[in-house]
Amino acid sequence: MSLSSIARLAGAAALVGMSAFAVQAQTSGEPIKIGAIVSATGAGAGLGIPERNGMLLAEKTINAKGGINGRPIKLIVEDDASNPDTALSKANDLLFSQKVVGLIGPSLTASTVAIGGVTHANKFPQIAFTGIGPAVEKERKCLAHVLPPQKLNAQALLEYARSIKATKVGVLHDAGYGNVVMAEIRPLADSYGVKLVAVEKFEVGATDTTTQAAKVKAAQPDALFIIATSATPFRNVKQLQMAQPVVAAIGSSSYEYVNAMGPGADNVVIPEFVVGEDPLPHQKAFVDLYKQTYNSTPKNFEAAGWDAVHVMAQAIGKAGPNATPQAICDAMRGPYSGVLANFNFSADDMTGIPLSSFVFSKLVNGKYTRTPFRIAQ
């Protein structure tokens, strides 16, 4: 974080203290330390930086409102450089040297798995960003997560396809994230009345996917899913003049990718959670505060960071000042209405996000607009 953004953050925090919460609640006593590990550099930085911004904003806001039962919280944010080994040493440091009472993150699944040996062995309360799959989630009930499991992303794509009556769907996906989501789509497609007429894969970071797109085009689908963390396939589909509706998985919803899509962004629909340009009523206060602080519009990962800190703070508050890690875990498990979604951390998948929490944005002239389509509860 640069000096200027720290200054902005401090300024905005002061603003929050003076205006939004006219009477700033006083906090006193030893701060309650919460650890956080994000990927602020390296391949995961596109996730880690917005997550960190959301978390720091939550810290300031919670403290401005009086902290946890009058005690301030102190967030200790570490960067794992998108490296699981680094995440492990940071986790050791946070748990045993810094003696934090809860842990947020890491950003990446590989890092989350890597630190499991430390956090799970100590039944340590942890809110990760992505889930690590049903097999592990059955076991580890101290590890909640705030971003949707890939099965839910798959369902959201299929729900939209059904809503536009697309029965023949083509898919372009990358070999990383796209592969995982695709594996969830295959067994579900039939139940949505969707036939996958062409499924084409490309490597992560591919600079050209024209030939794959041409193969999908030749299968004449009614709609196209693009599941990737890059802008390339969107541009290629546009270059091939494919007229089918394009539905993109949440992985390509960031401004970074959308800006790089150029004309390829037109009319792409994305099932996601926060459309900063047109937030849902319960998201508005967060979006406004974020814009005021960072001078940019938040999206899903910022909201996930914000929610993670709030969930952890609430659990610590509920469990009381001298609670054991297990007591905080137990306090964490329950419903929580966040900015990102309506969570239920007592659900089997340790996040409990319902499909009804998805909103569907459409890119019009490179700008996000929120469509009226929602999935009924």
Partner 1 sequence: MTLSLVLQAVFAGVTNGMVYALVGMGLAAIFKGSRVINAMQGEFSVIGAMTTVLLLTKAGWPYPAAIAGGALAGALVGAFIEVAFVRYMAKKNASEDSFLLLTIGLALTLSASILFFVGRDGHLLPPLGGEGVLIVLDAVIQFHALWLIAIGIGATLLLRAFFHRTTVGLSMMAASIDADGAATTGINVARMRTFTFVLGGVLGAAGGILVTPLIGVDYQLGLNLTLKGFAAAVLGGLTNPLGAAVGGLTLGLVESLAIIGISSSYKDVVAFSVLIVIMILMPQGILGRAGRRGG
Is 177 near partner 1 (CB under 8 A)? no
Query: Measured from the CB of residue 215, what is the shortest distance to partner 1 in angstroms?
Result: 6
- C-alpha 121/C-alpha 134 separation (Å) is 19
- Note the Cα 141 to chain centre separation in Å: 20
- C-alpha 144/C-alpha 124 separation (Å) is 11
Is 197 near partner 1 (CB under 8 A)? no
Is 210 near partner 1 (CB under 8 A)? yes
- C-alpha 142/C-alpha 125 separation (Å) is 5
With contacts defined by CB under 8 A, name the span among 83-91, 256-264, 279-287, 291-299 that binds partner 1: 256-264
- C-alpha 241/C-alpha 373 separation (Å) is 26
Query: Measured from the CB of residue 165, what is the shortest distance to partner 1 in angstroms?
Result: 26
Query: Measured from the CB of residue 124, what is the shortest distance to partner 1 in angstroms?
Result: 32
> Which residue in the block uniquely carries the two structure tokens 């960071």?
305
With contacts defined by CB under 8 A, name the span among 70-78, 104-112, 205-213, 301-309 that binds partner 1: 205-213
List binders of partner 1 among 212-251 (CB under 8 A). 212, 214-215, 218, 231-232, 235, 239-241
Is 183 near partner 1 (CB under 8 A)? no
- C-alpha 136/C-alpha 95 separation (Å) is 21
- C-alpha 242/C-alpha 84 separation (Å) is 40
How many other C-beta atoms are found inside a 10 Å radius of the C-beta of residue 135? 7
Query: Measured from the CB of residue 264, what is the shortest distance to partner 1 in angstroms?
Result: 10
Is 50 near partner 1 (CB under 8 A)? no
With contacts defined by CB under 8 A, name the span among 110-118, 156-164, 200-208, 335-343 that binds partner 1: 200-208
Query: Measured from the CB of residue 218, what is the shortest distance to partner 1 in angstroms?
Result: 5
- C-alpha 122/C-alpha 125 separation (Å) is 9
| Contacting residue, 257, 286, 290, 343, with partner 1 by CB under 8 A | 257
Query: Measured from the CB of residue 241, what is the shortest distance to partner 1 in angstroms?
Result: 6
Is 53 near partner 1 (CB under 8 A)? no
Query: Measured from the CB of residue 316, what is the shortest distance to partner 1 in angstroms?
Result: 34
For residue 58, what are the contacts with CB-CB under 8 A and spacing of at least 6?
A: 305, 306, 307, 308, 309, 310, 313
Is 208 near partner 1 (CB under 8 A)? yes
- For partner 1 (CB under 8 A), the number of binding residues is 27
Is 201 near partner 1 (CB under 8 A)? yes
Query: Measured from the CB of residue 231, what is the shortest distance to partner 1 in angstroms?
Result: 6
Residue 367: phi and psi, rounded to 5, are -110, 145
- C-alpha 15/C-alpha 7 separation (Å) is 12
Looking at 254-375, which runs of residues are DSSP E strands?
Answer: 269-272, 335-337, 342-344, 359-364, 367-370
For residue 146, what are the contacts with CB-CB under 8 A and spacing of at least 6?
A: 127, 128, 129, 304, 307, 308, 311, 338, 340, 341, 343, 351
| Contacting residue, 15, 136, 197, 260, with partner 1 by CB under 8 A | 260
Q: Footprint of partner 1 on this chain (CB under 8 A)? A: 45-46, 200-203, 205, 207-208, 210-212, 214-215, 218, 231-232, 235, 239-241, 256-257, 259-260, 262-263
